[in-house]
Every structure is written in C-alpha cells, then in structure tokens.
C-alpha cells in the first residue's frame, strides 16, 4: 500500500512538472543563483532578446536603405526626420550595439586568459559600444530635429 501511494505522488508531481518551464541550469547553479561565471544566464538572455529585436529591425533597415539608394542628402534627411523612421533607426542602432557588445564580451571571456588583459578588453568593448551608441543617437536626433525645424 505504501509503495502505491509513493508511486502515485511521483506521478502527480511529474504531471505538475509538465507545465513548468524547462530548467537549463544545474541544481548547484540554481541553489547559488548564478552561473559558472556569475553572469552567463544574463548574457544568454541579452544575446537572444537583442538578436530577436535586431532581426526585424535589420530587415526594415535594409529595405529602407535600398529605397534611399540614389537619393540626395535633403531627401535622406527628410526621411530621417519622420518620427517613425527616427525611432526605428535609433532602435536598430541600440539593438545592434547591445548585441555586438554582448557577443564580443563572450568571445573575450572565452579566448583571453590573462585577467588584466581580459578586464581591459571587456571595459574597452563596453566603452566603444556606449560611445558609438551616444554618437549615433545624437546624430539621428540632430538630423531629425534640424529637418523638422526644431532648433
């Protein structure tokens, strides 16, 4: 009788597990709350979400660039001055740089072994991506706002 009760409870708990998300972490990692390098899951999620956002924005960006081939500077500036285009262009830039920063950081962490070199490269990678994002967003805003007449 005790054996059947235990078997039934195992079946019931496994039925509950069917509706739970699959865990990709080891039991020790779940207990500590971190991956082996203490941030692996965060990088994994960042790469996937930024890649998911980057894919349709890239399709839009390539389509838009193909439409603007041969256009003069004023036409392109007017196109950037449209609010939807300026926002999508900014999102394309941000998603590309977030994805780039995360991917390059993983490569640095995987292939550079000296701590000081690794740290310097990770900080440099972050600095370059943030600087590129700031310059890019500033440029988009400057063009968009100058075309619309807001000085």
User: What pLDDT was estimated at residue 43?
Assistant: 78
Closest to 79 (Cα-Cα) out of 63, 94, 95, 93: 63
Distance CA 7, CA 5 (A): 5
**Position with higher pLDDT, 83 vs 148:** 83
Chain segment 30-84, per-residue pLDDT in tens: 666 555 555 678 878 888 999 999 999 999 999 999 999 999 999 999 999 999 9
User: What pLDDT was estimated at residue 10?
Assistant: 46
Q: Which residues contact 88 (CB under 8 A, 6 or more apart)?
A: 57, 60, 61
User: What pLDDT was estimated at residue 12?
Assistant: 47
Is the pLDDT at 132 greater than 50? The verdict is yes
Distance CA 110, CA 126 (A): 16
Share of the chain above pLDDT 70, in %: 71
Angle at 99 between CA 98 and CA 101, to 5 degrees: 65
Spatial contact of 89 and 80, defined as CB atoms under 8 Å apart: yes
Q: Which residues contact 39 (CB under 8 A, 6 or more apart)?
A: none
> What average pLDDT does the segment 84-111 reach?
95
Distance CA 101, CA 105 (A): 6
């Amino acid at each position: 009788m005790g054996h059947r009760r235990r078997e039934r409870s195992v079946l019931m708990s496994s039925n509950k597990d069917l509706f739970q998300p699959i865990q990709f972490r080891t039991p020790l990692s779940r207990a500590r709350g971190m991956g082996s390098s203490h941030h692996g899951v965060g990088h994994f999620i960042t790469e996937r979400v930024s890649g998911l956002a980057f894919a349709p924005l890239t399709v839009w960006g390539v389509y838009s660039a193909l439409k603007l081939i041969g256009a003069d500077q004023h036409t392109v500036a007017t196109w950037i001055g449209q609010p939807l285009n300026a926002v999508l262009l900014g999102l394309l830039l941000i998603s590309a740089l977030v994805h780039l920063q995360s991917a390059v950081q993983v490569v640095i962490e995987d292939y550079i072994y000296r701590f000081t070199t690794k740290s310097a490269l990770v900080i440099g990678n972050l600095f370059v991506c943030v600087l590129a994002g700031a310059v890019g967003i500033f440029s988009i805003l400057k063009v968009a706002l100058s075309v619309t007449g807001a000085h």
